[in-house]
Structures are given as C-alpha cells and as structure tokens.
Structure 1
C-alpha cells in the first residue's frame, strides 16, 4: 500500500469534526506550499516572460479594469 492510499484510508475514518480540522490544516498547508513555489519561480525568473507580456499589454492599453 502506498503512502497516499494509507492516508486516504485514515481520512475516511475521521469524524466530521476531525475532517473539518484536517481540511482547514490542509488548506493552509497547500496555500503555503503554493506561495513558496510562486516565490521560487519569481526569484528564478520563470515568471519573467509572463510578467513582461502583462506589462506590454497594460502599456499598450489593451487591458481593462476588472
């Protein structure tokens, strides 16, 4: 059995209160991981092309307010 399968089986056994607590914990964990990845990508230059395209679109007036 893989780790993921083991975790899935454990999650199925959680009470509704425990599941809510796990859901909140995982949401925060996942958000922190996402933020860290975005920061790494920005530092390494992986987002430079996307940022330059967005800036050019803005400067040319082809963007609209949300």
Structure 2
C-alpha cells in the first residue's frame, strides 16, 4: 500500500488529462459519500427538529420568496 506522500507525488506526475479524470472521480466519490451521510442523518431523525421549526415558521408567515 502506498503512503499518502507517495500518492501525492504520483498525482503530481500525472499528465493533465489524467489529473482531470482523477479530479472528476474524487469529486464524484466525495459527493456520493456526502449524499450517503445526509440520507443516514435524515433516516436517523437528525433533521426532524429543523424541519419542525421551518414548518412552524412557514405556517406563521415568517418566510418570504427568494
């Protein structure tokens, strides 16, 4: 297994096209992990309080169009 330093050094040597492909892959993977975390937090009820507060504000007329 490579160390982080070895990976960083290998990345520095990539041709531009391969660097862009790596960047795209990392960004997609990061977004996927973020989506999974949000879904897990929602399923665990971590947003229930926020949802209740937003709903109460909306019903009280405390919201405005963006």
TM-score under structure 2 normalisation? 0.81
- 1:54 corresponds to which residue? 54
Q: Secondary structure at the match of 1:54?
A: helix
Q: List 4+ stretches of structure 1 deviating above 6 A.
A: none
- 2:34 corresponds to which residue? 34
How well do the aligned residues superpose, as a CA RMSD in angstroms? Answer: 1.7
The alpha-carbon distance between structure 1 residues 51 and 4, as it changes in their structure 2 partners (threshold 3 A), is farther
Of structures 1 and 2, the larger Rg is shown by: 2
Structure 2 stretches lacking a partner, 5+ long? none
| C-alpha distance in structure 2 between counterparts of 1:56 and 1:3, whole Å | 51
